[in-house]
Amino acid sequence: MPSSTSSVVIGEPVAYHGETPSAASLIMFFALAFAWSWACWLLAPALQVDSPVAATTLALAGGFGPSLAAVVLVAYGAGMAGLRRWLLRCMRWRLRWHWFVLAFAFPVVIMGLAAAAHVVLGGTLPPSRAAGHVGMAAANFLLVFLAGGPVGEEFGWRGYALPALQARWGWRVASLLLGVVWAIWHLPLFYSPGTVQSLLPGGLFALSAIAASVLFAWLYNRSGGSVIPVLVLHTAVNAWSLIIPVMLLPDGSNLRPFQLVVGMLVLTAAALLCCGGKLFNKFVAPA
C-alpha cells in the first residue's frame, strides 16, 4: 500500500508528475548504461589471464551500468535533494506483504513446474547445485541481490526508464520496449566464457527477457512504483535458477526445462498484457 504521505489514483500506470525524464534524458540514460556495462564486459576477458581478480571485478562492475546511469542523471538534473527524493520513492517499503511473497515465490512455481513437466515427459534432471550446501545456497541470495543483477539494474530499468517510457506510450508498450533493450544490453555476455548467457540460445534468452520485463513492469506498477518488490523478484529469479536445475549445462544439455520456463513466462506475460491494464496505481510523489 502507498505510504501515508502519498496520494493514489486508481486507473493508470506509475508516472511521476513534473519529474518524468525528458526524451533526451532517457536517451542519455540508455547511452550511459550501455557505455559503462559494455566497456566493462568487453575489457574483462582481456584481463582474465594476467589479472583474473581485476577481470572479475570489472565484470561485476559492468552489471551496475543501469543503476549508475540513473543516479548520475537524477543527481545532475535535480541535485542531491532530488536524488534523495527519487531514492526514497524507489525504496518505498510500506507495501502489502503479499507482493513480496509473490515476487519471491513466483520463480519457484514456474521453475518447479518446468522441472516436473520435463521429468513427466521422460527427461532427467541434473543434481541441484544446492544439494548438500543449504547454508551456501541461502547465503547466495544475498550475494545475488548485491552483485548478481538486482541492485545494479533495477534502479535504472524500472526506477528510472520504465516510468518515463510508460508516461509516453503506456505500460504495455513500455514494458515490451524495455524488454528488448534489456535483452540487447546483455549481448556482450554471450561472448564471455563462464557467463549464464554464453550457454543460452540468444533468441530464447531475448524472449525470456521481454516476457520478464512485462512481469517486472506489472509488479512495479501494482506496488505503486516501489523498486523493492522488483529487487526481490530479480533476486529470486537469478538465485532460484541456481537451486532448481532448469538451466542449461556447459555441454548444452538440459535445454527443455529452460524452454518450458520461458514458455510459461511468455504465457504469463501475455495474460498480463491482455488483462492487467485496469489494475494499476498512479503514484503522485509528495512535494
Q: Please check the confidence at residue 53 and state whether its pLDDT lies above 80.
A: yes
Mean pLDDT of 45-49: 86
In a domain, 269, yes or no: yes
* Cross-strand partners of 281: 10
Q: Please check the confidence at residue 200 and state whether its pLDDT lies above 80.
A: yes
Question: Which of 61-75, 131-145, 273-287 is most confident?
Answer: 61-75
Nearest one of 52, 96, 117 to 260, comparing CA atoms: 117
**What are 214-226's pLDDT values in tens digits?**
999 999 999 999 9
Nearest one of 108, 106, 115 to 137, comparing CA atoms: 108
* Domains held by the chain: number: 1
In a domain, 71, yes or no: no
Q: Which domain holds residue 103?
A: 7-18+94-284
Helix-, strand-, coil-residue percentages of the chain, each rounded to 5: 70, 5, 30
**What are 244-274's pLDDT values in tens digits?**
999 998 888 889 999 999 999 999 999 999 9
Q: Please check the confidence at residue 99 and state whether its pLDDT lies above 60.
A: yes
Q: Please check the confidence at residue 6 and state whether its pLDDT lies above 90.
A: no
Mean pLDDT of 196-221: 96
Nearest one of 260, 263, 29 to 161, comparing CA atoms: 29
Instruction: Give the relative orientation of helices 65-90 and 23-47 as an angle to the nearest 10 degrees.
Output: 130
- At 284, is the pLDDT very low, low, confident or very high (cuts 50, 70, 90)? very low
pTM equals: 0.88
In a domain, 62, yes or no: no
In a domain, 24, yes or no: no
Spatial separation of the C-alpha atoms in residues 270 and 248, rounded to whole Å: 25
Nearest one of 254, 238, 271, 257 to 113, comparing CA atoms: 257
In a domain, 33, yes or no: no
Residue burial 201-234, b: 16+ Cβ < 10 Å; e: rest: eeebbbbbbbbbbbbbbbbbbbbbbbbbbbbbbb
CA distances from 229 to 28, 141, 142, 216 (A): 26, 15, 15, 9
Which grid coordinates belong to 34?
Answer: 550501455
Mean pLDDT of 42-56: 90
In a domain, 70, yes or no: no
Q: What is the pLDDT of residue 283?
A: 42
In a domain, 250, yes or no: yes
Q: Please check the confidence at residue 17 and state whether its pLDDT lies above 70.
A: no
In a domain, 80, yes or no: no
User: Which helix (H) or strand (E) is 8 found in, with range?
Assistant: strand 7-10
Beta strands of 24-97 (E only): which ranges?
Answer: none
Residues near 200 by Cβ (< 8 Å), separated by ≥ 6? Answer: 190, 248, 258
